[in-house]
A and B are shown apart, each in its own frame.
Chain A
Amino acid sequence: QKEVEQNSGPLSVPEGAIASLNCTYSDRGSQSFFWYRQYSGKSPELIMFIYSNGDKEDGRFTAQLNKASQYVSLLIRDSQPSDSATYLCAVPPFSGGYNKLIFGAGTRLAVHP
């Protein structure tokens, strides 16, 4: 089992819709979870982090965490073409002393007008 798994996509949604991106992780000791956005040819940039079960909202973005199910998701409301990018889930595993991040392969999101 991979440490961090994401569907590679592409996930195609119409402009204005809700995009739902999912991530599962294997290390039950992981405490915090990061979502990075990466535009083509650019470096990753942090958009959200979450460490408590439940929802965390920041503008159009909502991160959801369920530690019992080892599942974290990212919802993007009112999707815009500018949201078209690859979204990377990243987890610092307990097995690494929380010193490093393990990234999923990323989900490519395409928002069409």
Chain B
Amino acid sequence: NAGVTQTPKFRILKIGQSMTLQCTQDMNHNYMYWYRQDPGMGLKLIYYSVGAGITDKGEVPNGYNVSRSTTEDFPLRLELAAPSQTSVYFCASRVDSPNYSNQPQHFGDGTRLSIL
């Protein structure tokens, strides 16, 4: 099992460019999440999905879009890159369970994105 795979690992964008951060998981998890982590800070939830075709906003959704057409994939789209979006982006997934208490999120290795 590869777990949660994120691509690319590093990227430099110019202001105004667009790009898609890819996330795929092979654990058949229904729940998937996108976070950003600024230096010295905790993780902020951008968007999440509870299953294919269902997405919802997190704490900091502005400037981002997501789609969930399959269980495996949950791409994050930046349409007009801004310097404030320079961050490390983590994708995570977890199994669907009525009892959240024993279901951890599994994280990918992250994408380090710089907007110049």
Q: A residues touching B (Cβ–Cβ < 8 Å)?
A: 4, 6, 8, 31-32, 34, 42-46, 49, 51, 88, 92, 98-106
Does B48 sit at the interface, judged by CB under 8 A? yes
Which of B33, B41, B101 is within 8 Å of A100, CB to CB? B33
Q: B residues touching A (Cβ–Cβ < 8 Å)?
A: 31, 33, 35, 40-45, 48, 50, 56, 58-59, 90, 100-102, 104-105, 107-110
Given known A-B contacts A43-B109, A99-B31, A92 and B45 have beta carbons under 8 A apart: no
The residue on A at minimum CB distance from B38 is A105
Q: Give the chain B neighbours of A45 by CB distance below 8 A.
A: 107
Q: Give the chain A neighbours of B108 by CB distance below 8 A.
A: 43
Distance between Cα atoms of A51 and B59 in the complex (Å): 24
The residue on B at minimum CB distance from A33 is B101
Which of B33, B48, B101, B105 is within 8 Å of A51, CB to CB? B101
